[in-house]
Amino acid sequence: MIKIENSKLNDIANFLDRAELSGRVSRHRTKLLGSIGEVMVELAKDEKKIIADNGATIDEKGNVVGFPNNEAQLTVQKELADVKVEKSIFSERVEGQFSGLYHALDNYDKALAGTEANAYDNLLEALEEGGYSEQND
């Protein structure tokens, strides 16, 4: 099991999508990407519900165009900020998925910078905190 802060999910998904991985590790990545995608869909639904529950006016494109009062706007901002710092929990879909992914990424030799480097670091940190950096011989 690994935990990833919601605000970091999109960048991690983008990194995983572009990472050059092959074979079994690529399958492991695809499974984690699927799980992240499912969580991101749920988070989007949660955000819309928070906005709607606080009486916001939403235009035909789905954009927030107004709040009934400043208190409602502040409540939405606080609740959305809380959701972003929460951590989502991901479980392996196949045995060895996370340790295999960790070891492949730990030995990843492609140059990374900026957002990709941060996403790489955040993902490895989540895998390490989940205990997947230890060799399972």
In terms of residue numbers, what domain contains 91? 2-129
Read off the pLDDT of residues 9-42 as tens digits, 9 standing for 90 and up.
999 999 999 999 999 999 999 999 999 999 999 9
- Per the rule left: phi > 0, alpha: psi between -120 and 50, beta: everything else, 114 is left
pTM metric for this prediction:
0.89
Residue length of the chain: 137
| Beta bridge mates, 2 | 90
Residue 136 lies in a domain: no
Residue 135 lies in a domain: no
* Single-letter amino acid code for the residue at 70: N
Q: What is the mean pLDDT of residues 52-62?
A: 88
Quick check: 52 pLDDT over 60? Answer: yes
Residue 134 lies in a domain: no
Q: How many domains does the chain have?
A: 1
